Amino acid sequence: MLRKILIANRGEIAVRIIRACAEMGIRSVAIYSEADRFALHVKKADESYCIGSEPLAGYLNIYGLVNLAATTGCDAIHPGYGFLSENAEFASACKKRGLIFIGPSEDVIRRMGDKTEARKAMTAAGIPVTPGTDGNLENADEALTVAEKIGYPVMLKATSGGGGRGIRRCDNAADLQRNFQRVISEATKAFGSADVFLEKCIVNPRHIEVQVLADHHGNTIHLYERDCSIQRRNQKLIEIAPSPQLGEAQRQYLGGLSVIAAKAVGYTNAGTVEFLLDDNDRFYFMEMNTRVQVEHTITEAITGVDIVEEQIRIAAGLPLRFKQHEIVRRGYALQFRVNAEDPQNSFLPSFGRISRYYAPGGPGVRTDTAIYTGYEIPPFYDSMLAKVIVDALTWEDVIKRGERALRDMGLFGIKTTIPYYLEILQHADFRAATFNTGFVDKYPELINYSNKPRPDVLASVIAAVMAAHTGL
């Protein structure tokens, strides 16, 4: 088993990995920029090291991080998600320095990170993919020719893209001509590659993804699916496990398809195979994420499997502890990405000092976060502050629990997406599980919620002030 792990990340995922290390008796090493000096992951790790004054440079310094891991006596590096988590060069640098990269091999990362190569691999394995180009586009004229053949609308995508960036929907030839250079420019800035490809746009699909685990001994399993259809501009907001929109036959088919996909590319560790489901109940492969997902929490809630612990065990060379028939799902789980954004002001970031923070609790409630009362949110990173996860035995009950948990949560000093999520939970389409990726755009009126203080939160603040005043 591994003895010491450097966590090449920050925020809530760093805290999540630190907790897994603590339970496994593994020492954890945190890194931080000057902007993160007072971050929670710095306080919780066994050791912490500053990686420079620049907010981002240190987190992206491949050889600096590898050298730090080696000099501090680490066996391995866990990249979390974002930053260098899907960087093949990082995985390669770890291997060359004798460190274990907690994730798949550099070859798999590179192959799945190239969207056109991923499409080719899935096609060869018999996995359905959306109609589109087999390789990268040479110019706008080629894109126009392909689009005319497969029909509009189409999606123009960066080959190395991810996280909702480097992607544009084009409804006609004018859109395609206008967006071609934009996507190339965005792809070059964000991913260092100007390669783009084209595929048929599945209008308002359901976004379904499957969690897989694979060890170095030939064992591959799935942990069922998650529904990520509630999203805005390709950024997920609320995630659900399992999908309330699938029948059991669809669920088993998709799980089996994902295992085939993982085996086809020699996948190891934790990964996610993402699909689009159209109105005719046809699944299409979209991409494979070669890292732990933000929403891994809800899969843990319905299966009881600690995915981060399994990542570490697999990286250490241990076999999976579970056979497929031993994975039993229970009930439903929801995850809410609580972002420091103002939905009523075009979702603009709302950075600043958290004057008060009260975490929700009670049965079936989990909060993954790195914030605390008095924490100053730095404006250099992602706006996600916390993940509120709830689980219950039925779809109706998990919605009720989600409402209760969000109302319990007190987060003051900044604007957040919590009131918006409460509106979504109360909508008839969401409750009936008849939503798709067009939900947010279809119901813009949900943003028109009241800004009045919620009585339950106001009561909790009054109680806290009274307790502090009386010394109770």
Q: Where are the beta strands (DSSP E) in 184-262?
A: 196-200, 206-214, 220-232, 235-241
> Of 30, 24, 31, 20, which is closest to residue 2 (Cα–Cα)?
24
* Rounded CA separation 92/106 (Å): 6
Bridge partners, residue 76, by sequence: 5, 100
Distance CA 379, CA 230 (A): 25
- CA atoms of 80 and 87, how far apart (whole Å): 12
Rounded Cα distance between 21 and 306, Å, is 12
The C-alpha atoms of residue 250 and residue 192 are separated, in whole angstroms, by 38
Residue 234 dihedral angles phi and psi, to the nearest 5° = 65, 15
Tokens coding 403: 């409402």
Q: List all residues 6 or more positions away from 426 whose beta carbon is below 8 Å from its beta carbon.
A: 403
CA distance 348 to 119: 35
211 near 226, Cβ under 8 Å?
A: yes
As a whole number of angstroms, the distance between CA 263 and CA 96 comes to 25
Cα–Cα distance, 76 to 86 (Å, whole number): 16
Report the alpha-carbon distance of residue 258 to residue 235 in Å, rounded: 22
Taking each continuous run of H as one helix and of E as one strand, the counts in the chain are: 16, 20
Alpha-carbon distance of 317 to 378, in angstroms, equals: 38
Bridge partners of 157, per DSSP, are: 167, 197
- Tokens (6 digits) for 463: 């109680």
Which residues are identified as catalytic?
291
> Closest Cα partner for 428 from 417, 439, 416, 441?
439
Q: Are the C-beta atoms of 318 and 218 separated by less than 8 Å?
A: no
